[in-house]
Amino acid sequence: MIVTLVIKRDGSEVPFNQQKIIDAICAAMNCTDKKIDMDVAQKVADKVTVKISKLHKIDIEHIQDEVQSALMNSKRKDAAEEYIGYREIRTLKRRERSSLDKKVQGLLDLTNEEVLKENSNKDGATIPTQRDLLAGIMAKDFAQTYMIPKRVVEAHNNGSLHFHDQDYSPYFPIYNCMLIDLKGMLENGFKLGNAQIETPKSITTATAITAQIIAQVASHIYGGNTINEIDIILAPYVAQSFIKHFKTGLQWLYSMNRTDIDALDIFYENQQLKETYPNCFEYAKHLTEKETFDAFQSLEYEINTLVSANGQTPFSTFGFGRGLSWEERQIQIAILKNRIRGLGKDGKTPVFPKLIFGMEEGVNLKPEDPNYDIKQLALKCSTLRMYPDIISVPKVKEITGSFKFPMGCRSFLGAYEEDGQALHDGRFNMGVVTANLPRIAIRAKGSEKTFYRLLDELLETCKEGLMFRVNRLKGVKAKVAPILYMEGAAGSRLQPEDSIDHLLENGRASISLGYIGIHETILSLYGQHIFDDEKLRQKGLDIVKYLSAKATAWKNETGYGFSLYSTPAESLCYRFCKLDEEQFGVIAGITDKGYYTNSFHLDVNKKVTPFEKIELEKDYPQHANGGFITYCEFDSLVKNPEALEAVWDYAYERLPYFGTNTPTDKCLECGFEGEFEATNTGFKCPNCDNSNPKTSSVIRRCCGYLSEPSQRPFNAGKQKEVLSRVKHM
Amino acid sequence: MNIADYKKYDVLNGKGLRNSLFTSGCRHHCKGCFNAATWNFDYGTPYTPQFEDQVISDLNVEGIKISGLSLLGGEPFEHVDGLLGLVRRIQQECVGKDIWIWSGYTFEEILADTSKSELLAYCDVLIDGKFILEQRNLKLQWRGSENQRVINVKQSLHQGKVVLQD
């Protein structure tokens, strides 16, 4: 008798074994209501065996085909159906497995552009980042297969919506961005790694600890972190440094003994002290100013040299500007002067932390305000380094219900009270799902009614995705992220086994519906540019109002802090557009540009004045109050900060949050300072044509954050968007 | 008088946010001129009373702090008669707006000419002298070559000597 060889999928050959067929049929039968019929199983197996016994070799797929048809011809068609279903699932799994392998292989040989360039803050060539990216590939695959609701996975993969940050969440119960409760941590002490940290006694120590906290927090969340009002939070430690220096001065300049020194009440505004010990006062003042400057220099270097467990520099933001005391002013000055100086011997523009300057009448807005000098410093800094962006304190209060800086680059919390007190620090965002508006506009073929019907359908899926994000965090125990839940970064000190549920509820945390491409949506639906027609401007606003009303309804229904967020779309601008081009073809002005426009922004290629852009965009934030920013493109303003002030003052009255993009590029070959030319593949010096990334410093705004694309190239869509940018002056 | 260009919200020509008016026609013909097309007196569009009204109202636009008007060219001092009406109106109708003017003539040359100095008297800042390619320096503020000066007109006229703008 011939021994038939079976060719397996990996190409290896094994002798045919009838028992394996019987086992497979029994397994299929076991899933049916009629259960196993050994007699039928044996008969089918015999039939197949006879058929193939004359062959020397047979492919495994052929054997399965034979089993399938023999089963279909038996009295157990139900078992045949199970058998077929099982085969299909296995085939699908194998295909998935092989695509997963491809992604992992692509990471290894650096060809997986999608993963490597998704986040311009990550250097995908380095080992720690590759570990993070590898984990991301696996986590995303697992989450899509076993965790995220099927309808949401399908909508994500076909590009109807975007379930953000799947490389971290939902595989890990991890949230997006936050305001770190730095004040609570410093005042009450906390445990970091193996060390118990007490309240610092100088600004040097306070900033060193702040850097450590930021690094730890950044490793436990996937979005950005913000120190909200860092000047006010760290001011007590400047006061401590002043005391320290004053005491040293008394000891050495006035030979005072310890007991007498300790009896004095030392603080900067103490006039009597100043008059009694003038030299000592000047000495302490000078040393404290110097120490504060140095402390913030160290902090800036720390943040720019750190790599979090997520394989990147922490996305960090400092909000400041409202403090009026001498100590608070010293911090504001230190932050700005360090930024003006730049990093390293070439004085390169740092990308992190993002700086946001809070502007307010009576504080720093007008020449008669006490901190007007600091506004001048902020203007100078912005012309040289692009940051700080500005916040209009009254507008943020009006639009979001209370004052706070954004979490990360643009996510804003609503008002929330605990024990009758407004609470901001320690709160966070649970994540985002973004709707692809241009797609449903294309599908609606010019019908507004169809557009809103399709929008309703899409929003139901978005809501399902968002509620899934919330539910993933529910029941999570404090021990999974000690820095956040047990040591105070999220504003509470829980026990390891405590649930974090109360931190998620009643609007304490936000959960955000995002949207992209109002510009393309209007163009597709009505065939005209939103800027050119007052009626269309209203239509654009109507869509955002509609989305906002949905988010509010969901909030009322579920008790969770649903908000509408204007998605920055770093890589999404490219992904949505590409998928729509594949599905609907090249559509002029919509899919032919290679990118979709950020949230409610005017398309970057529209030539308008900054004032016109501000006028167009100013009405959106009050509806999309879970996240927003407006920015304008300028020529270099280094020689003309007065012009920037005119723009800032105009924005202050109209916009909650505003940034300016000005050229701050530098050629390290020829010394040119100004704006490099964007090309399809990178950037080149206009003076000497140098395009070597190693000798170029090119800084561009990527979303709400800056980025250095000469070092880590943007994805193709973002590069196209950068190429299309026109100046607004 | 023809107008070569009119730019609103200019940040490159003078301190603050400004509106800039470029007149057509110039006889200096400096080598390396950044705007040689405007040497021709017929270049651009005619200056009209309607246009003048527009310039005035643009300076007084609400909500935006416009520092003033910049007069460039061409050579604006070729059009003393054409511009005098405008600068007089600015003085009367546009409170707190200053006038910057760029010229290939030097401060001394302008003073020696009665009609040119009449126009100068309405201006606050003069950037004077021809553009000399050999002295070009892109790092300079408001001017293109080393020989040119940024002059505080009011102070200079008052003191009878050139006072530079700080």
Q: In CATH, what number is assigned to the domain containing residue A259?
A: 3.20.70.20
Residue A661's H or E segment, with its range, is strand A657-661
In degrees, rounded to 5, the angle at the alpha carbon of residue B52 between the alpha carbons of residues B50 and B56 is 115
Positive or negative CA dihedral for A78, A80, A81, A83? positive
Residue at B129 is within a domain = yes
Q: What is the pLDDT of residue B9?
A: 92
Q: CA of B12: how far to CAs of A85, A636, B16, B116, B145, in Å?
A: 71, 8, 9, 25, 16
What mean pLDDT comes out for the span B151-156?
A: 96
Calpha distance A7→B8 (Å, rounded): 77
Beta strands in A469-557 (DSSP E): 510-516
Calpha distance A621→A542 (Å, rounded): 13
Q: With b meaning 16 or more CB within 10 Å and e meaning fewer, what string describes A158-196? A: ebbbbbbbbbbbbbbbbbbbbbbbbbbbbeeebebeeee
Nearest to A729 among B11, B65, B141 (CB): B11
Residues counted in chain B: 166
Beta strands in A386-509 (DSSP E): 389-392, 417-418, 421-422, 429-436
Longest dimension (CA), chain B: 43
Chain B nearest-CA distance from A650, in A, is 6
Domain boundary among A352, A378, A400: A400
Does A667 qualify as catalytic in the annotation?
no
**A643 in B contact zone (CB under 8 Å):** yes
**A639 in B contact zone (CB under 8 Å):** yes
Closest C-alpha to A21, from A54, A2, A43, A37? A43
Mutate to test the interface with B, among A376, A609, A640 (most CBs of B within 10 A): A640
Q: A222 and A354 share a domain?
A: yes
CB-based contact B16 A640, cutoff 8 Å: yes
Phi-psi region of A165 (alpha: psi -120 to 50; beta: other; left: phi over 0): left
Residue at A570 is within a domain = no
Q: A199 and A334 share a domain?
A: yes
DSSP letter (8 states) at residue A675: -
For A126-135, write each residue's pLDDT tens digit.
888 888 889 9
CB-based contact A611 B64, cutoff 8 Å: yes
Q: CA of A222: how far to CAs of A192, A408, A685, in Å?
A: 20, 10, 35
Please, which residues have CB within 8 angstroms of residue B109's CB and are 6 or more apart in sequence? B116
Residue A427, beta-bridge partner list:
none
Q: How confident is the model at residue A704 (pLDDT cuts 50, 70, 90)?
A: low
Q: What is the pLDDT of residue A119?
A: 66
For A505-560, write each residue's pLDDT tens digit.
999 999 999 999 999 999 999 999 888 899 999 999 999 999 999 999 999 999 99
Q: Lowest-pLDDT range, A505-514, A566-575, B42-51, B157-166?
A: A566-575
Calpha distance A260→A280 (Å, rounded): 15
Q: A191 and A312 share a domain?
A: yes
Residue at A330 is within a domain = yes
Calpha distance A560→A509 (Å, rounded): 8
Residue at A724 is within a domain = no
Query: Higher-confidence residue: A425 or A77?
Result: A425
DSSP letter (8 states) at residue A715: P
Give the tokens for residue A270.
């103490």
Q: Is the pLDDT of residue A499 over 90?
A: yes
Mutate to test the interface with A, among B13, B17, B139, B140 (most CBs of A within 10 A): B17
For A338-352, write each residue's pLDDT tens digit.
999 999 888 888 889
Does A280 qualify as catalytic in the annotation?
no
Q: Is the pLDDT of residue A120 over 70?
A: no
Chain B nearest-CA distance from A288, in A, is 33
Q: A60 and A189 share a domain?
A: no
One-letter amino acid identity for A70?
A
What mean pLDDT comes out for the span B114-132?
A: 96
Q: How confident is the model at residue A409 (pLDDT cuts 50, 70, 90)?
A: confident
Calpha distance A41→A27 (Å, rounded): 10
Residue at B166 is within a domain = no
Residue at B164 is within a domain = no
Domain boundary among A88, A116, A133: A88
Q: What is the pLDDT of residue A57?
A: 85
Q: Which domain holds residue B136?
A: 2-159
Q: Which domain holds residue A312?
A: 180-400
Q: Is the pLDDT of residue A198 over 90?
A: yes
Q: How confident is the model at residue A703 (pLDDT cuts 50, 70, 90)?
A: low
Considering its fold, how many domains does chain B have in total?
1
Q: Lowest-pLDDT range, A79-83, A552-556, A668-672, A722-726?
A: A722-726
Calpha distance B65→A23 (Å, rounded): 84
Q: What average pLDDT is seen over chain A?
A: 91
ipTM comes to 0.90
Q: A394 and A274 share a domain?
A: yes
Domain boundary among A385, A400, A415: A400
Nearest to B9 among A642, A653, A729 (CB): A729
Residue at B134 is within a domain = yes
For A623-658, write each residue's pLDDT tens digit.
999 999 998 988 888 889 999 999 999 999 999 999
Residue at A664 is within a domain = no
Residue at B128 is within a domain = yes
Considering its fold, how many domains does chain A have in total?
2
Residues of A in contact with B67 (CB under 8 A): 642-643, 646
Chain B nearest-CA distance from A651, in A, is 10
CB-based contact A635 B11, cutoff 8 Å: yes
Give the tokens for residue A440.
């449903």
Closest C-alpha to A370, from A361, A380, A378, A379? A361
Q: Is the pLDDT of residue B157 over 80?
A: yes
One-letter amino acid identity for A212?
Q
Residue at B165 is within a domain = no
Which pTM was predicted? 0.86
For A85-114, write each residue's pLDDT tens digit.
888 777 777 766 677 888 888 888 877 776
Residue B99, beta-bridge partner list:
B69
Residue at A351 is within a domain = yes
Q: A265 and A368 share a domain?
A: yes
Q: In CATH, what number is assigned to the domain containing residue B107?
A: 3.20.20.70
Q: What is the pLDDT of residue A698?
A: 85
